[in-house]
Chain A
Amino acid sequence: DARVTQTPRHKVTEMGQEVTMRCQPILGHNTVFWYRQTMMQGLELLAYFRNRAPLDDSGMPKDRFSAEMPDATLATLKIQPSEPRDSAVYFCASGLGGSQGANVLTFGAGSRLTVL
């Protein structure tokens, strides 16, 4: 059963520290999305890639967040420096871009971040 793998599952860190979250999309999927989930804001789109190229990261605070796809099997989301308001669950999702129905995404289990 193909799945999106995210690490770490849980991370507790102190304000000001760097945090890196990793995602392995489903093999063959060429779109990758990063979402953030909080009680107040729900599921917010942070950034997305197609064929490893960043298409839009307007949902991210640019001064502290960065997203990359160094290769087809790895996507990263980095926060530097982290702040308490970044505490949330971060989800990676992948999909088959390019055809109708390809927008239906498969989500990972999420990385729960707590910034003290």
Chain B
Amino acid sequence: QQQVKQSPQSLIVQKGGISIINCAYENTAFDYFPWYQQFPGKGPALLIAIRPDVSEKKEGRFTISFNKSAKQFSLHIMDSQPGDSATYFCAAPSGSARQLTFGSGTQLTVLP
């Protein structure tokens, strides 16, 4: 059973600042590690995902850093905007169906 620990639980950042969310997982896995973004009343939406053999992936203002040896990965949001205010979930794969185990979520608030 995969375990995922996510921190912080909540984060407040000024507009233009950098938001950093961290996750740690327990079991080695060979599939993608995704981050999801969820707005109130909506389902989680895929934000960015990284292969475990890559140390960093960048898409626009969003970057995943992956440390395979430490079993940790993090999401960096550069130039944070009020529209980024949402709950962010990391997830780690496990099992034969590569099902995702989710972190507990981080509620990000970006102040204007």
Contact status B101-A45, CB under 8 Å: yes
Q: Within residues 12 to 41 of chain A, which ones have a CB less than 8 A from any CB in chain B?
A: 31, 33, 35
Contact status B44-A107, CB under 8 Å: yes
Q: Find chain A residues with CB under 8 A from B104 CB.
A: 42
- The answer for the CA separation of A115 and B87 in the assembled complex, in Å, is 25
Contact status B43-A33, CB under 8 Å: no
| 0 or 1 for each of A75-116: is its CB under 8 Å from B? (1 = yes) | 000000000000000010100010011111111111000000
For residue B32, CB closer than 8 A to chain A, the reply is: yes
Q: Which residue of B lies closest to A44 (CB)?
A: B102
The majority secondary structure among interface residues of chain B is loop
Contact status A104-B46, CB under 8 Å: yes
Contact status B43-A109, CB under 8 Å: yes
Known: A56-B97, A102-B98. A110 touches B31 (CB 8 A): no
Indicate the size class of the contact surface on chain B. Answer: 20 to 34
Size of A's binding interface in residues, CB under 8 A: 25
Contact status B30-A100, CB under 8 Å: yes
Q: Find chain B residues with CB under 8 A from A97 CB.
A: 97-98
For residue B49, CB closer than 8 A to chain A, the reply is: yes
Contact status B49-A101, CB under 8 Å: yes
Q: Which residue of A lies closest to B104 (CB)?
A: A42
Cβ contact of B102, chosen from A43, A100, A110, cutoff 8 A = A43
Known: A42-B102, A42-B105, A100-B30. A31 touches B43 (CB 8 A): no
Q: Find chain B residues with CB under 8 A from A101 CB.
A: 31-32, 49, 51
Contact status B89-A43, CB under 8 Å: yes
